[in-house]
């Protein structure tokens, strides 16, 4: 099983199973035109990734150089869906974990092979499929501060958390 990694350092399970959350942030606003129509104007969009855990050890990430961009490899999957077997992957998959795909046939999701060419994922067509989904574990180039860490001496456990912002 792949591990969450920051700057090449894996988060060991003794530091706690990581909880991961993605939040989209962006330079966008919604404005109304003279006729009242609402439009969204987006200049850029990036991810903010929050990761936390608690376990017998701290995160062990104090030796990283937080003044420089770091590579963050996540394990919480991202995915795209569509009615055609060819889908555009909207992020960068981890190089050590290949994307995977499913096809919806009736009420059942079935695994189907997928191949990547650049950002395009092509699923092997499945007879009767009404929807395709491609999932991947993302990798980001991020800037973040060192994790906030705490020790609960009465329970003998550490907790830690950090938020990384995609460059």
pLDDT digits (tens, 9 = 90+) for 22-31: 999 988 889 9
What letter would DSSP give residue 93? Answer: B
- Res. 43: pLDDT tops 90: no
Cα angle for residues 89, 90, 94 (degrees, 5° grid): 75
Q: Is the pLDDT of residue 95 over 90?
A: yes
Q: What is the pLDDT of residue 26?
A: 84
Phi/psi of residue 13, each to 5°? -60, -20
Size of the chain, expressed as the number of residues it contains: 167
Residue 1 has pLDDT above 90, yes or no: no
109-113: long-range contacts at Cβ-Cβ below 8 A with a sequence spacing of 24 or more? 109/133
122 neighbors 115 (Cβ within 8 angstroms): yes
């Amino acid at each position: 099983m792949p591990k969450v990694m920051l700057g090449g350092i894996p988060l060991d399970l003794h530091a706690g199973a990581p909880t991961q959350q993605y939040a989209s942030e962006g330079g966008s606003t919604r404005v109304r035109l003279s006729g009242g129509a609402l439009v969204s104007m987006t200049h850029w969009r990036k991810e903010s990734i929050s990761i936390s855990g608690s376990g017998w050890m701290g995160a062990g990430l104090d030796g990283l150089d937080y003044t420089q961009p770091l590579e963050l490899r996540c394990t919480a999957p991202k995915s795209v869906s569509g009615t055609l077997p060819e889908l555009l992957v909207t992020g960068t998959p981890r190089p050590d974990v290949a994307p995977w795909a499913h096809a919806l046939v009736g009420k059942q999701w079935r695994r189907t092979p997928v191949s990547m060419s650049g950002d395009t994922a092509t699923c092997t067509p499945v007879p009767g499929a009404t929807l395709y989904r491609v999932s991947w574990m993302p990798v980001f180039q991020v800037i973040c501060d060192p994790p906030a860490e705490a020790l609960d001496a009465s329970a003998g456990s550490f907790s830690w958390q950090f938020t990384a912002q995609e460059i």
